[in-house]
Amino acid sequence: MLKLMYITNRPEIAQIAESAGVDRIFVDMEFIGKDERQKGMDTVKSHHTVQDVINVKQSVERAEVLVRINPIHDELPDYFSSKDEINAVVAAGADIIMLPFFKTVDEVKTFLRLVNGRAKTMLLLETPEAVEAVDEILKLPGIDEIHIGLNDLSIGYGRKFMFELLADGTVEQLCFKFRKKGIPFGFGGIASVGKGILPSDYIIKEHYRLGSSCVILSRSFCDVTKLHHIGIINATFIRGVRKIRDLERECEKHSSYFFENEKELVRLVDLISKGVDL
Residue 254: predicted pLDDT = 73
Q: How much of the chain, in percent, has pLDDT values that exceed 90?
A: 87
Q: Is a pLDDT exceeding 80 seen at residue 39?
A: no
Please tell us whether the domain made up of 3-273 is placed in CATH 3.20.20.60. yes
Q: Is a pLDDT exceeding 80 seen at residue 14?
A: yes
Number of H helices, E strands in the chain: 13, 8
- Mean of per-residue pLDDT scores for the chain: 94
Residue 59: predicted pLDDT = 98
Beta carbons within 10 angstroms of residue 230's beta carbon: 12
pTM (2 decimals)? 0.92
Q: Is a pLDDT exceeding 80 seen at residue 141?
A: yes
| Chain segment 153-166, per-residue pLDDT in tens | 999 999 999 999 99
Q: How confident is the model at residue 40 (pLDDT cuts 50, 70, 90)?
A: low
| Chain segment 231-267, per-residue pLDDT in tens | 999 999 999 999 999 999 988 877 667 878 998 999 9
Q: Is a pLDDT exceeding 80 seen at residue 175?
A: yes
Secondary structure letter of residue 121 according to DSSP: E
Distance CA 188, CA 162 (A): 9
The residue ranges of every structural domain in the chain are 3-273
